[in-house]
């Protein structure tokens, strides 16, 4: 009987084991089962030349005292009785079906209402909005009530719309909300030749948010709404006369709900248009000169919200046609954007420290995933087991320690003032989660659609029947929902890339970015 001590590494832990070299490999596996809870059939113990098998002669492995071996495998729980009784599809109510199905529902076009449908679908991508709407109650207290002008009614109608959509399995008719919108904002009730006219989705977006913000602020104990906390940023402004040094520089601050992307003959990228919108020349009266003069207005961001809205300024008023015409120029936009360079120095310094740490953390997580894939590939072929599998597994465990360390560094790097500012971005890094596109020549015609990004779990859970034309299951690129009124399908991210413009086909009008969390 020859017994030597060895060390087994598993899931970041080390186990000291006394091994009898006269026994087969199966005995060692049962020893490890008692220590780790991993069933012997699920254990993959990496040894020289391959994987330890049940009938392996341990004396042939050349094991030395205190040698370390790597074990892979997870402990599995025994099957348990379902906590809830199984319900078959034919026995489900509409509400239960809506909760079970992963495919979101569309909105029926009620006559040139694609502008509204796309806006409602995009606003719904922010779960905090629905959560706060659910706490809103219609107020009717006196003449100062937010019900004046129908604002409270519109907010209540939006709340009910989103509630109903959660409980439906078929395309929804947003008739009640549409009627209320037209009462509050008669511009959306304009008709031409007996038909309701097409409208600008950006105007619908802005008007709806202005009403919701006012209503929610009135009902909020803190006098701050979802819109204030999660969608509103602030600028510092500086107005300088370009024709006189005597004219004092006027500074101030202002709030914003969206960043505008100005489009000129030299605009090729989104960042170019954003920079142009933050510094412009205007003509106004100069007290020092006693006449109109040229002034430079410069803005710097002093607060970034969690959700950043970007508006492409594609529409402009043409006097000859008396319509909003469209700028068709191609302007490329990123799926991830860093806007720290648009911020005031004080805020930028706070963001950059966290941003750099977050990038390191994300890189480490990606490397861990790649290491896990390599280990699975090697382990899938038992005949070709090698020391590479052990190296990959060991690298994966080291990466876990590195990730934990980086996560602590990220948390520590967040400025205390940003931590306490609910709904603000602490990184300045954003990922694109929603797009409202427009197809056509003018704002008053054409077609609007909404597009929203699926996360990996969402894509894995949806049925194959939802993967419509345009989505290739062979490609591993990100997927997006396409909300074409009542039709909801899945497309590849390459479709979103094609919305940079350059023609009358779908081009991005509104981008909804979400701050990358720490």
447 is catalytic: yes
Q: How far apart are CA 113 and CA 486, in angstroms?
A: 11
Q: Which two tokens stand for residue 211?
A: 């009403």
Where would I find the beta strands (DSSP E) of 329-446? 336-338, 429-439
Can you tell me the distance from the alpha carbon of 242 to that of 244, in angstroms, rounded to the nearest whole number?
6
SS3 assignment, position 265: coil
Spatial contact of 42 and 73, defined as CB atoms under 8 Å apart: yes
C-beta separation of 200 from 324 below 8 A: yes
Supply 428's token pair.
């300045």
Residue whose entry in the numeric block shows the structure tokens 């819109």: 227
Dist. CA 485–CA 507, nearest whole Å:
17
Residue 395 tokens read as 């690298």
Structure tokens at 412: 């520590």
Reply yes or no on whether 114 is catalytic: yes
CA–CA gap between residue 399 and residue 364 (Å, rounded): 7
Residue in 10, 114, 122, 450 annotated catalytic:
114
Q: Name the catalytic one among 241, 343, 438, 447.
A: 447
CA distance 483 to 496: 13
Instruction: Give, for 351, the enclosing helix (H) or strand (E).
Output: helix 345-379
- Cβ atoms 308, 259 nearer than 8 A: yes
Instruction: Just list the catalytic residues.
Output: 114, 447
């Amino acid at each position: 009987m020859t017994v030597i001590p060895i060390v087994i590494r598993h899931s970041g832990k080390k186990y000291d084991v006394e091994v009898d070299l006269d026994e087969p490999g199966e005995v060692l596996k049962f020893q490890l089962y008692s220590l780790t809870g991993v069933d012997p059939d699920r254990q993959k113990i990496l040894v020289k030349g391959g994987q330890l098998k049940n009938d392996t002669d341990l004396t042939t492995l050349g094991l030395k005292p205190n040698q370390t071996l790597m074990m892979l495998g997870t402990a599995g729980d025994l099957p348990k009785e379902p906590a809830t009784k199984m319900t078959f599809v034919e026995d489900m109510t509409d509400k239960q079906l809506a909760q079970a199905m992963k495919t979101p529902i569309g909105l029926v076009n009620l006559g040139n209402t694609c502008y509204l449908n796309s806006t409602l679908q995009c606003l719904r991508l922010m779960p905090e909005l629905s959560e706060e709407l659910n706490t809103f109650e219609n107020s009717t207290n006196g003449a100062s009530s937010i019900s004046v002008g129908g604002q409270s009614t519109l907010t209540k109608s939006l709340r009910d719309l989103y509630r109903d959509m959660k409980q439906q399995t078929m395309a929804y008719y947003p008739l009640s909300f549409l009627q209320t919108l037209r009462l509050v904002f008669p511009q959306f009730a304009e008709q031409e030749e007996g038909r309701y006219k097409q409208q600008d989705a950006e105007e619908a977006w802005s008007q709806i948010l202005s009403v919701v913000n006012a209503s929610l602020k009135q009902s909020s104990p803190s006098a701050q709404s979802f819109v204030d906390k999660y969608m509103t940023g602030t600028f510092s402004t500086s107005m300088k006369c370009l024709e006189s040094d005597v004219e004092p520089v006027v500074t101030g601050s202002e709030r914003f709900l969206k960043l505008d992307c100005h489009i000129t003959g030299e605009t090729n990228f989104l960042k170019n248009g954003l920079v142009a919108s933050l510094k412009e020349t205007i003509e106004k009266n100069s007290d020092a000169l006693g006449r109109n003069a040229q002034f430079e207005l410069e803005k710097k961001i002093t607060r970034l919200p969690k959700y950043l809205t970007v508006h492409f300024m594609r529409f402009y008023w043409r006097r000859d046609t008396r319509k909003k015409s469209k700028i068709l120029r191609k302007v490329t936009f990123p799926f991830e954007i860093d806007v720290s360079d648009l911020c005031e120095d004080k805020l930028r310094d706070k963001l950059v420290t966290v941003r750099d740490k977050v990038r390191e953390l994300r890189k480490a997580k990606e490397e861990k995933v790649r290491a896990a894939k390599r280990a699975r590939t090697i382990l899938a072929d038992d005949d070709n087991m090698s020391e590479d599998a052990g190296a990959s597994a060991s690298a994966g465990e080291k990466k876990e320690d590195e990730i934990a360390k980086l996560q602590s560094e990220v948390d520590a790097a967040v400025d205390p003032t940003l931590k306490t500012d609910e709904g603000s971005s602490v990184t300045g890094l954003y990922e694109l989660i929603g797009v409202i596109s427009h197809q056509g020549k003018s704002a008053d015609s054409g077609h609007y659609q909404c597009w929203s990004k699926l996360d990996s779990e969402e894509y894995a859970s949806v049925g194959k029947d939802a993967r419509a034309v345009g989505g290739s299951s062979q490609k591993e690129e990100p997927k997006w929902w396409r909300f074409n009124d009542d039709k909801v399908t899945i497309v590849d991210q390459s479709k979103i890339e094609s919305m940079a413009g350059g023609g009358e086909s779908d081009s991005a009008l509104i981008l909804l970015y979400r701050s990358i969390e720490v």
